[in-house]
Amino acid sequence: MVDRKADAKNRTSLDILVAGAGYVGLAAAVSLKQARPSLAVAVVDAAPAGVWQKDGRASAIAAAACRMLDQLGVWAEIAPEAQAITEMIVTDSRTSDPVRPVFLTFDGEVAPGEAFAHMVANRDLNGALRRCAEKLGIDIIEGVAVSAFDVNGAGITVHLADGATLKARLLVAADGVSSKLRDMAGIKTVKWEYGQSGIVCTVAHERPHNGRAEEHFLPAGPFATLPLKPDKDGTNRSSIVWVERSEDAEKLVDGDDLVFEHELEQRFGLKLGEIRVADRPRAWPLGLTLARAFVAPRIALAGDAAHGIHPIAGQGLNLGFKDVAALAEVVVEADRLGQDIGALDVLERYQQWRRFDTLQMGITTDVLNRLFSNDISPLRAVRDIGLGLVERMPRLKDFFIRQASGLSGDTPKLLKGEAI
């Protein structure tokens, strides 16, 4: 077996170094290397080897991102274990309400036979991207953080925590919402906390979900039920994203299992028969983080390093994939023209492409959360009327589906399923 870690450190001169071996970082490395095999690309990640295999969560992958993954050659491996979302319904109620009226329904297709989103296990997504990276000859250094870097004219010198040094023309920071590289680059953020946490767990249930996703707007925050592929033994499963006030979320996750299951049942209901929690629930604090700039000399931010938004619209990961597609297109075109791929004027093309779209989505999710995560009667009346009006306007519903699928606006080639 080839020691990729040793290979990467022996190759001290690179074209592109990606910091972060999550989905965004790996997709960036694969996109760039596949389009320009001549580029020397490596990935470095602070997490120990194998940590990604312990992630039991699942993510909603929009249609545009599925097209990109297909173009990269990994969707065929992922698809058999992915669950298409064939229908989406939206309700607005309290947990004590005996009936939850459905205000809005969406057909889950953006084109005949193409679902607007799929639920994919994080392990499957990460594993497929890693195997693709290995086939392309991308070196992955794990368990070592970037400790510092120096920008020096035509390149950037990156210092790793274990003393190794790598040189590159471009450093892609995909190291998460608390990005240390963003801070090292002196890029400021707009940031605030919501006082909410997202509880994530998998629920097994008696009856099949038939591909239906549901989002209940409750006073403390949205409660989303997202369909998963049945387990190997045929058990019906759904992923839960449950937003609560942070202090309540901590008590629920750390408290008695019976109390948690009772509160879950109050929100989930018994429409799918008896339910049980299939894994250990975990909670993450929610906030809005927007980088004031997406680029600096020799550095480009991507994914959560550039933007962390509320999960109310399920767009966080898909925004990251859109960053990847845009950045890859800009860098590849610049390289074909013989331009310096890490020069600020090249990177600013990426920033101009992505920053407004990201700001718009951040504001949209912030407004939606403030509008729906409350129990103020006049607001409830206004939003329920609004949802009802959208339900009666097919063209507007189609517009929202296109937005959710990532196929609206100035879409990069990869998200259209086209090669760069």
Element (H, E) at 16: strand 16-19
Residue 348 pLDDT grade (very low, low, confident, very high; cuts 50, 70, 90): very high
pLDDT at 390 over 90: no
pLDDT at 164 over 80: yes
- Adjacent-strand bridge partners of 307: 290
What number is the average pLDDT over the span 122-132? 97
Element (H, E) at 208: none
Report the largest interatomic distance among the alpha carbons of the chain, rounded to a whole angstrom: 66
In whole angstroms, how large is the CA radius of gyration of the chain?
Answer: 22
Q: Which two tokens stand for residue 372?
A: 């729906």
Answer with the residue of higher pLDDT: 380 or 146. Answer: 146
pLDDT at 44 over 90: yes
What number is the average pLDDT over the span 60-75? 97
pLDDT at 98 over 60: no
What number is the average pLDDT over the span 292-296? 98
pLDDT digits (tens, 9 = 90+) for 188-225: 999 999 999 999 999 999 999 999 999 998 889 999 99
What number is the average pLDDT over the span 327-335? 98
* Res 3: pLDDT: 44
Encode burial over 272-305: b for 16+ CB neighbours within 10 A, e otherwise. Answer: beebeebeebebeebebbbbebbbbebbbbbbbb
Residue 231 pLDDT grade (very low, low, confident, very high; cuts 50, 70, 90): very high
SS3 of 367, please?
helix
SS3 of 218, please?
strand
Q: What is the mean pLDDT of the chain?
A: 91
Give the C-alpha distances (Å, rounded to integers) separating 134 from 65, 80, 137, 146, 295: 21, 21, 5, 21, 28
Residue 2 pLDDT grade (very low, low, confident, very high; cuts 50, 70, 90): very low
Residue 359 pLDDT grade (very low, low, confident, very high; cuts 50, 70, 90): very high
What number is the average pLDDT over the span 148-173? 95
What number is the average pLDDT over the span 111-132? 95
CA-to-CA distance for 69 and 77, rounded, in angstroms?
A: 10
CA-to-CA distance for 225 and 242, rounded, in angstroms?
A: 9
Q: Which two tokens stand for residue 306?
A: 């550039």
* Res 1: pLDDT: 33
